[in-house]
A and B are shown apart, each in its own frame.
Chain A
Amino acid sequence: GAVVSQHPSWVICKSGTSVKIECRSLDFQATTMFWYRQFPKQSLMLMATSNEGSKATYEQGVEKDKFLINHASLTLSTLTVTSAHPEDSSFYICSAPDGTGDTEAFFGQGTRLTVV
Chain B
Amino acid sequence: AQRVTQPEKLLSVFKGAPVELKCNYSYSGSPELFWYVQYSRQRLQLLLRHISRESIKGFTADLNKGETSFHLKKPFAQEEDSAMYYCALWGQGAQKLVFGQGTRLTINP
Contact = CB atoms under 8 A, between A and B. Distances in A.
Interface of A: 32, 34, 36, 41-44, 46, 49, 93, 95, 103-105, 107-110
Q: Is the interface of A mostly helix, strand, loop or mixed?
A: strand
Interface stretch (B13-21, B70-78, B94-102): B94-102
B45 to A, nearest CB: 7
Contacts of A109: 43
Contacts, number: 43
B20 to A, nearest CB: 19
A36 B86 CA distance: 14
Contacts of A49: 95-96
A44 B4 CA distance: 12
Nearest to A36: B99
**9 A-B pairs closest in CB distance:** A107-B44, A43-B101, A44-B99, A103-B90, A109-B43, A107-B43, A43-B102, A43-B99, A104-B46
A95 B101 CA distance: 17
B98 to A, nearest CB: 6
Interface in B81-103: 86, 88, 90, 95-102
Contacts of A93: 43-44
Contact of A103 (B9, B32, B45, B100): B32
Contact of A43 (B43, B90, B96, B100): B100
A34 B101 contact: no
Contact of A42 (B46, B49, B98, B101): B101
